[in-house]
């Protein structure tokens, strides 16, 4: 859309922000579901790991990104512009935002290993 002369429709921008918020909620629900699944099969280490992953997702993704989505939605609804220059903080922000993703993969690997160990017994 940026290559064309016209701006994207406001309704499309609003839907995009709502989709972002829904994605954040779905990620939290996924971590919660994996925690409950681990608990149901007595994979206690995995259950604790999924709780940590969910906490990281909430603190490092949902709160800051959700706030940005909400601010963007507010700007779209009121017709104002919302610009935020992250500037020199882009690298530290990227490192912080990657932590939950790495822990998600760690939790998945931990759950697989623990399930395989349980299966051998």
pLDDT of 87 reads 86
Convert the pLDDT of each residue in 52-90 to its tens digit.
Answer: 999 999 999 999 999 999 999 999 999 898 888 888 899
pTM value?
0.88
- Residues 75/41, Cβ–Cβ less than 8 Å: no
Rounded distance between C-alpha atoms, residue 43 and residue 26, angstroms? 23
Rounded distance between C-alpha atoms, residue 68 and residue 51, angstroms? 25
pLDDT of 23 reads 98
pLDDT of 121 reads 77
> How do the domains of the chain map onto residue ranges?
10-120
- Residues 43/114, Cβ–Cβ less than 8 Å: yes
């Amino acid at each position: 859309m940026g290559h064309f002369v016209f701006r994207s429709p406001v309704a499309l921008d609003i839907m995009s922000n709502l989709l972002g918020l829904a994605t954040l909620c779905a990620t939290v629900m996924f971590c919660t579901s994996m925690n409950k699944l681990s608990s149901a099969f007595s994979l206690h280490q995995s259950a604790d790991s999924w709780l940590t992953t969910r906490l990281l997702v909430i603190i490092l993704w949902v709160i800051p990104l959700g706030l940005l989505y909400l601010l963007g939605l507010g700007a779209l609804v009121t017709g104002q512009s919302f610009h935020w220059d992250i500037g020199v903080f882009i690298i530290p922000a990227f490192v912080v935002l990657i932590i939950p993703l790495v822990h998600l993969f760690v939790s998945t690997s931990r759950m697989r290993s623990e399930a395989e160990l349980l299966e051998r017994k």
